[in-house]
Amino acid sequence: MIREIRARIADGDLGRLLAVHGHYLQDWMLDEDASSWRVDPTSSGLSRAFADIGSHWCDLVEFVTGERFASVSAATDIVYPTRPAASGPSFSGSPDPDPVADAAERAEVTTEDTAVATFRTGTGRIGNVVISQVASGRKNRLWFEVDGTRGSAAFDQEQPESAWFGNERGAQIVVRDPSQGYPDQRRLAIVPSGHPQGYLDAFAAFVADTYTAVRTGVAPDGLPTFADGARSAEIIDAVITSAAETTWREIR
């Protein structure tokens, strides 16, 4: 459904981009005794929530809209001053986010739990995102909306089989269907409509596209590159610097 939204934007269905906004919310760090290696800046870097999930939101929105963020003004927050000294994995299947951590041995938290970033795109439009790893009840709510002169589109990762499209006359929910929609979406819809396609199928599609690129020397549209990874690092750096200096920062 991400590819369906992207194709409609590229085809002009939404018109000229006016704004983009959204959030990426999780709750796995809600407990003050929750921890993981990501809390330790010597292991994870200067950013936690934004580097971990905010980077995905930005990468996805740039991919979908074709617009690149040019500058950012951001603010971050640390909701607990200390957490258990961490060493375990981020997700282990245990109710405890880090079963190795000892709650009696605490360390100062210097990486953010929440972040809010306002962007300017290369064409001067505004984008905004709220990032949180302490949003109770939200497990993986990556959500965005793109507003254009002709219509709007929205996607919710927790409802991945559908996308929302709206205009001045009303709105509709479009459900994934390999017999309908743009070709780039249809090639990735590997099971019939009404048979939910899983999260892990996206990784299988990524691996299949990678093999295609290796075998043919031609990368299918949208296959991520090292340049995309570097781009994410540049956005993270600009966000964290902007928050620290309380000023707008250019994104290289």
| CB-neighbour burial class of residue 88 (10 A; exposed 0-12, middle 13-18, buried 19+) | middle
d(CA 22, CA 54): 11
How distant is the alpha carbon of residue 242 from its chain centre? 19
Q: How many domains does the chain have?
A: 1
Contact 17, 121 (CB under 8 A): yes
Q: Return the pLDDT at 98.
A: 55
Residue 249 falls inside a structural domain? no
Residue 37 DSSP code: G
Contact 10, 67 (CB under 8 A): no
Place of tokens 């994934």: 176
Contact 236, 58 (CB under 8 A): no
Residue ranges in the chain whose pLDDT is less than 50: none
Residue 251 falls inside a structural domain? no
* Helix H or strand E encompassing 208: helix 199-216
Q: Structural domain of residue 32, as residue ranges?
A: 2-240
Two structure tokens written together for 214:
């290796």
For 159-199, the pLDDT digits (tens) are 999 999 999 999 999 999 999 999 999 999 988 998 988 88
Q: Return the pLDDT at 229.
A: 95
Q: Return the pLDDT at 49.
A: 98
Q: Return the pLDDT at 93.
A: 54
CATH number at residue 143: 3.30.360.10
Q: Return the pLDDT at 85.
A: 87
Residue 250 falls inside a structural domain? no
Residue 49 falls inside a structural domain? yes
Q: Return the pLDDT at 86.
A: 72
Q: Return the pLDDT at 242.
A: 98
Q: Return the pLDDT at 89.
A: 59
The pTM (predicted TM-score) of the whole model is 0.91
Residue 89 falls inside a structural domain? yes
Angle between helices 55-65 and 226-245 (to 10 degrees): 120
Two structure tokens written together for 111:
């990486």
Q: Return the pLDDT at 87.
A: 61
Two structure tokens written together for 252:
């290289």
Q: Return the pLDDT at 198.
A: 84
Residue 151 falls inside a structural domain? yes
Residue 247 falls inside a structural domain? no
Residue 113 falls inside a structural domain? yes
